[in-house]
A and B are shown apart, each in its own frame.
Chain A
Amino acid sequence: GENVEQHPSTLSVQEGDSAVIKCTYSDSASNYFPWYKQELGKRPQLIIDIRSNVGEKKDQRIAVTLNKTAKHFSLHITETQPEDSAVYFCAASFTGTSYGKLTFGQGTILTVHP
């Protein structure tokens, strides 16, 4: 089955700095890669996703890049703000079946200091 590795486990930045979180996946058939933000005790919220037919996607301060050959993808947050502090999870799935179950990375605790 799919295995997703995520690094770093914790990331501390100053407000205004950029933050980068990296993930690798094992199953070359995976073709959908979402990123979720989870605040303490709450449900994961999708912040951005990318499919295997594109290499990069951007939404305001958030961007994701995908390298299919190397089987890794990254989340980039620019101009970080204290409200960006949360746990971020990457995930991977193969959507070729009706199931398309997601496999999550271990999570990154991002702390943005004012």
Chain B
Amino acid sequence: GAVVSQHPSWVICKSGTSVKIECRSLDFQATTMFWYRQFPKQSLMLMATSNEGSKATYEQGVEKDKFLINHASLTLSTLTVTSAHPEDSSFYICSARAGGPGELFFGEGSRLTVL
């Protein structure tokens, strides 16, 4: 299957700093990528849809100025958590579809801990 790689796999930062997470499609081009957030023992909640070359579409309740998404190429989308706070600590997972409707491929996930 298609491969989606996410980096870093885990990061610890101080409150108030910004953290960037990268999501790459390694063997296919992804015009659309999705960013999910998962709290412990909970489901995956869609944060935003990342569109190559245009602005991301955010889900209701997700602050676009806090979670900056950039999809500058067909293989890379980035999520930047700005001015992170302890409540932003979570597992962030990106996903992409390898052309056409159907299976979503997920990255390994990035565990963010904000101290």
Give per-residue flags for B80-115: 1 if the beta carbon is below 8 A from chain A beta carbons, else 0: 000000000001010101000111101111010000
| Interface class of chain A by DSSP | loop
| Interface class of chain B by DSSP | strand
User: Which listed residue (A42, A45, A96, A107) contacts B109, Cβ 8 A?
Assistant: A42
Q: Is A73 an interface residue (CB 8 A)?
A: no
Shortest Cβ distance from residue B39 to the other chain A in the assembled complex, whole angstroms: 11
CA–CA, A45 to B2, complex, Å?
12
Within 79-103 of A, Cβ neighbours of B (below 8 Å) are at 89, 95-96, 98-103
Chain A residue at minimal CB-CB distance from B34: A101
Are A43 and B31 closer than 8 Å at their CB atoms?
Answer: no
Most buried by A among B32, B41, B93, B104: B104
Q: Is A65 an interface residue (CB 8 A)?
A: no
Query: Which residues on the B side are within 8 Å of A98 (C-beta)?
Result: 31-32
